[in-house]
Structure formats: C-alpha cells, structure tokens
Amino acid sequence: MKNQQFKKRNTRPYSSIMLLSAIVITALLGIVTYLMMETPEETESTVSTEIATDPERIEDGIHLRTGLKAGEGMDAVIRHCTPCHSAKLVIQNRMDAAGWESTIHWMQETQNLWDLGDDQEVVIQYLTREYPVSTKGRRQVLKDIEWYSLEQ
Ligand code: HEC
C-alpha cells in the first residue's frame, strides 16, 4: 500500500515532464514548419508552377509568363508581339515611337507581321511608356570624348 502510494506520487512529476516535453517539441515542430512554409525562396520551379496554374498571372507588376511590365496595352503586346519571338527581344530594344513604327513596318515587310490596326498605337504607347529610351538596355554610344593625338 505504502509502496503503491509512493509510486503514484513519484510518477506524477515524471509524466508531467513527459507532457511538457511533448508540448514543447510539438510547438517547436510547428514553428519550424510554419517558418519553412512562410519563407520559400521564389525559385524557378515555384514560378513555373504559378505560370502553369495561371498563364496570365501578374506578380509585383510583372506578367510572369512573358516578363512584360503590367500596364495599359500589355495585352495587345502579348497578342501581337510574342507569337513569333520572345518578349525579351521586344523589351531589350529601347526605341522611340518612330523607331518602333519603323521596326513594326520592317517586320510587316520582311517577317510576315500582320497589320496591327488600331492596336499599333496602343503597342507603341505601351513600349515607349514602360520601356523608355532614357533607361537604355545597352551601352550608350560614347559621347563628348576628348581625343588626343599620340606623340610619335
Ligand atoms: C510574324 C512574326 C512576328 C511577330 C508577330 C512580331 N515579330 Fe518581331 N521579329 C520577327 C522576326 C522573324 C524577327 C527577327 C528575329 C531575329 O533576327 O532573330 C523580329 C525581330 C524583332 C525585333 C528586333 C529587331 C532588330 O533590329 O534586331 C524587335 C525589337 C521586334 N521584333 C519587336 C516586335 C514587336 C514590338 C512586335 C509586336 C508589334 C513583334 N516584334 C511581332 C517576327 C515577328
């Protein structure tokens, strides 16, 4: 009898330690799982699954599938300017309105680009607004160089 009581009294703290550790471990596992779910790096594969579930998905102002900036006229650019080549080819060429007009004309003459109709203006406005010439994609032509002659 006495021995049994002793056992009872003695196992109580032991089981509460077990219980406490179980709670702590569960909580820690929960926190770790939560942190792992909260901060996944935006990897190529997460982006491509997002594109697979919604090809027109826009994130942080960027149309994921094409890389184009979201804005008025983007749909027209996607429709007319991405069937033949990547949007990258479009984005990396910074031109003013006249430049775009002649590039479009050149593609119509030589590459079977169709007549854009009213969309031509929309496309040119989008491109000159979202990808202005001032933030050039390529190195600028050197200007204001002070040439010097080499001594013989
Ligand atoms: C019918 C097919 C087709 C469509 C549609 C098309 N392009 Fe092109 N585009 C081409 C081809 C082909 C080239 C040449 C690619 C190369 O040189 O590798 C080209 C080249 C270009 C270039 C590079 C020109 C250069 O000087 O190197 C730009 C910029 C361009 N396209 C923009 C556009 C824009 C903007 C649109 C939408 C209005 C568009 N493309 C729609 C076929 C097309």
In tens, the pLDDT along 62-89 reads 999 999 999 999 999 999 999 999 999 9
Shortest-distance atom of ligand 1 to CA 77: 37
Whether residue 84 lies inside any domain: the answer is: yes
Q: Give me the percent of the chain exceeding a pLDDT of 90.
A: 57
Residue nearest to atom 1 of ligand 1 (CA): 113
CA of 122 to the centre of ligand 1 (A): 17
| Average pLDDT estimate for 93-102 | 94
Note the pTM of the prediction, 2 decimals.
0.68
Tell me the C-alpha distance between 68 and 79, whole Å. Answer: 12
- Identify which of 28, 141, 134, 119 has the alpha carbon closest to the alpha carbon of residue 74: 119
Whether residue 62 lies inside any domain: the answer is: yes
pLDDT at 143: 78
Whether residue 32 lies inside any domain: the answer is: no
pLDDT at 42: 64
pLDDT at 147: 84
CATH number for the domain spanning 105: value is 1.10.760.10
- Kindly indicate the confidence band of residue 135, based on its pLDDT and cuts at 50, 70 and 90: low
Whether residue 121 lies inside any domain: the answer is: yes
pLDDT of 1 above 70: no
Please name every residue paired with 59 in a beta bridge, in sequence order, or none if there are none: 62
Whether residue 149 lies inside any domain: the answer is: no
Whether residue 47 lies inside any domain: the answer is: no
Whether residue 7 lies inside any domain: the answer is: no
pLDDT of 150 above 90: no
For ligand 1, pick from 68, 69, 77, 85 the residue to mutate: most ligand atoms within 8 Å of CB: 85
Q: Give me the percent of the chain exceeding a pLDDT of 70.
A: 85
Overall domain count for the chain: 1
Whether residue 108 lies inside any domain: the answer is: yes
Domain, as residue range, for 96: 56-130
Tell me the C-alpha distance between 45 and 17, whole Å. Answer: 44
